[in-house]
């Protein structure tokens, strides 16, 4: 059943989008080609007309997820709005649509070389994005990169920690503590 080129291109995008969501939700290893194809409204056989292998799909999915993360910081109304969203209970509960580094970073570094490389590129990209945004809102000069790295570390670690605990009280305590940390970081003298 051949379909038009436009439809085929849409299918490819649908597969990539489905993979990007499912991977964040369940991890690379717990998502099968059939799951991804089904979420995209196709059967597993069709997958291989769009991607050479699961590994190839993973590489593209990681790139897409990383880009999404960079766009989220760069296009946020302001950094506070971004922080509030990142450190929200909603984000804790919905990894499927959320930060890919927090959801997949741990296992990402154990994947094949190409996926590892995609994570490396993504990490460099998100650090640059943070540094740009932070350097712009208030000129921190050289410290902008350090500030970016510190913020990203706290955000990723904080989100993961918030996902580990079970009570809402613990979760909110963590989200607040990390929010406070980054707030203090930004307003502190650059000697910090």
105 binds, among its own copies, DNA, none (CB under 5 to 8 A by kind): its own copies
CA neighbor of 104 nearest in space, from 114, 115, 93: 115
Contact by Cβ (8 Å): 185, 151: yes
**Is 27 near its own copies (CB under 8 A)?**
yes
Using the rule CB under 8 A, give the single segment among 1-9, 46-54, 71-79, 119-127 that binds its own copies.
Answer: 119-127
Under rule CB under 8 A, which residues in 42-81 are in contact with its own copies? none
DSSP secondary structure code for residue 85 in this structure: H
Partner whose footprint covers residue 54, from its own copies, DNA, none (CB < 5 to 8 Å by kind): DNA
32 near its own copies, judged by CB under 8 A:
no
How far lies 164's CA from each of 96, 106, 158, in Å?
16, 14, 10
Per-residue buried b or exposed e for 93-106, using 16+ beta carbons within 10 Å of the residue's own CB? eebeebbbbbbbbe
Question: Which entry of DNA, its own copies, none binds 1, CB below 5 to 8 A by partner kind?
Answer: DNA
Exposure class string for 160-185: b at 16+ Cβ within 10 A, else e: bbbbeeeeeeebeebbeebbeebeeb
* 154 is a contact residue toward DNA (CB under 7 A): no
**Residue ranges binding its own copies (CB under 8 A):** 25-27, 29-30, 101-110, 116-117, 119-120, 122-124, 145-146, 149-150, 152-158, 160-161, 163-166, 170, 173-174, 176-178, 180-181, 184-185, 188, 192
Residues that bind DNA (CB under 7 A): 1-8, 11, 31-35, 37, 42-50, 53-55
């Amino acid at each position: 059943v051949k379909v038009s080129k436009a439809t085929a291109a849409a299918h490819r995008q649908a597969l990539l989008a489905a993979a990007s969501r499912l991977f964040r939700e369940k991890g690379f290893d717990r998502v099968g080609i059939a799951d991804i194809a089904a979420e995209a409204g196709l059967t597993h056989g069709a997958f291989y007309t769009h991607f050479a292998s699961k590994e190839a799909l993973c590489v593209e999915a990681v790139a897409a997820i990383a880009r999404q993360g960079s766009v989220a910081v760069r296009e946020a109304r302001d950094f506070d709005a971004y922080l509030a969203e990142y450190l929200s209970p909603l984000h804790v509960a919905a990894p499927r649509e959320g930060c890919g580094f927090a959801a997949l970073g741990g296992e990402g570094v154990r994947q094949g070389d190409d996926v590892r490389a995609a994570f490396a590129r993504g990490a460099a990209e998100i650090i640059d994005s943070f540094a740009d945004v932070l350097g712009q809102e208030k000129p921190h000069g050289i410290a902008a990169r350090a500030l970016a790295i510190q913020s990203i570390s706290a955000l990723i670690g904080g989100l993961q920690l918030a996902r580990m605990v079970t009570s809402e009280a613990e979760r909110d305590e963590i989200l607040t503590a990390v929010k406070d940390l980054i707030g203090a970081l930004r307003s502190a003298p650059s000697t910090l």
